[in-house]
Amino acid sequence: MDIRKLDLNLLVVLEAIHAEGNLTRAARRLHLSQPALSHALARLREALDDPLFLRKGNRMVPTARTQRLIGPLHEALGLITESIQEGARFDAARSRQEFRLGLRDVFEATALPRLLTQLAQEAPGVRIASVRAERRELETDLVDGRLDVALDVLLPLSADIRREPVSHDRFVIVARKNHPALKRGKIALADYLAASHLLVSSRRRGHGFEDQELARLGHERHIILRCQHYFAACRVAEGTDALLTMPAQYAELANAGLGNVLVEMPIELPALDVYLYWHESRDSDPANRWLRERIIALFQPGGRKNSAKKNSLEKKITGRDQAAK
């Protein structure tokens, strides 16, 4: 066909439907009404003499013709976008933009203080809104723009959601001073499993990450309290014989000033990996890219400050273990 006779805007519609797999989401992405999007798809089907997508439930499944087109089309649209945006910069010093971050309490406590310190110098007008996003809604929130980025553990999200590993942490045990299970600054596996435990989870039911890993190794804990926040659980641990298992970096912050000690796990559990998430539609957005770079830099392991902080944490755990002997 003669490409000059084709409305090239229709190719943007094709790419959006392929990326979203749903007409409603594609229309929202392009700021069109769904009837307008359906009309554009009908014109494109007629021009290319192919159905392009077949409806399967709520999904629009691409035909073989679309699958052949989408790779070159995505690359071409990317080049056009880059050319149009060439020279575009995000002026952090003058910006008054608000960024919405999907964060849980762990990441609020560990990331926000350092991020706001940096922004105060580099982007004093930028505002941050920390939002607790349900994991089952995280992808939709990123697609619809209700979130600009999110920090969370590894999640089974679609390929449309970009992700970058930023950090990993180990688990430690939080116990009150003079806890009966503490022996020479350590807790044996048998004593750990025999003790009562606190579980922190945003879900109403189901196992926590540590319980899933313990079950995989053939072990099970006795949970006496399930609560939503580590802040509360640390205070419960201070006044009871219940043990709390939590990420080490946040444990150091949450237990400052409390009568608790931090103890290494008696069994090796996988590291808790943390990822930064964003939607592919914002991959080249200068403002979003600027924010991602600042967040990723917070977790870089090579700097002296981070190394000193890690050494300090290890010394404090060791020191508290010695004090508990």
Q: What is the pLDDT of residue 317?
A: 46
CATH 3.40.190.10 assigned to 98-168+273-310: yes
Mean predicted lDDT score pLDDT of the chain:
87
CATH 3.40.190.10 assigned to 171-270: yes
Q: What is the pLDDT of residue 85?
A: 58
Q: What is the mean pLDDT of residues 181-197?
A: 94
- What is the percent of the chain with per-residue pLDDT over 90, rounded to a whole number? 61
Q: What is the pLDDT of residue 88?
A: 63
pLDDT confidence band for 182 (50 / 70 / 90):
very high
Q: Domain ranges for the chain, please list them.
A: 3-85, 98-168+273-310, 171-270
Q: What is the pLDDT of residue 4?
A: 72
Q: What is the pLDDT of residue 262?
A: 96
Q: What is the pLDDT of residue 83?
A: 62
Q: Is the pLDDT of residue 100 over 90?
A: yes
pTM (2 decimals)? 0.63
Q: What is the mean pLDDT of residues 78-98?
A: 76
What CATH number does the domain located at 3-85 have? 1.10.10.10
- Among 85-89, 181-185, 319-323, whose mean pLDDT is lowest? 319-323
Do the domains spanning 98-168+273-310 and 171-270 agree at the CATH topology level? yes
- Show the 3-state SS of the chain: CCHHHCCCHHHHHHHHHHHHCCHHHHHHHHCCCHHHHHHHHHHHHHHHCCCCEEEECCEEEECHHHHHHHHHHHHHHHHHHHHHHCCCCCCCCCCCCEEEEECCHHHHHHHHHHHHHHHHHHCCCCEEEEECCCHHHHHHHHHHCCCCEEEEECCCCCCCEEEEEEEEECEEEEEECCCCCCECCECCHHHHHHCEEEEECCCCCCCCHHHHHHHHCCCCCEEEEEECCHHHHHHHHHHCCCEEEEEHHHHHHHCCCCCEEEEECCCCCCCEEEEEEEEHHHCCCHHHHHHHHHHHHHCCCCCHHHHHHHHHHHHHHHHHHHHCC
Q: What is the pLDDT of residue 84?
A: 62
pLDDT confidence band for 269 (50 / 70 / 90):
confident
pLDDT tens per residue across span 200-238: 988 888 888 889 989 999 999 999 999 999 999 999 999
pLDDT confidence band for 165 (50 / 70 / 90):
very high
Q: What is the pLDDT of residue 306?
A: 44
Q: What is the pLDDT of residue 316?
A: 45
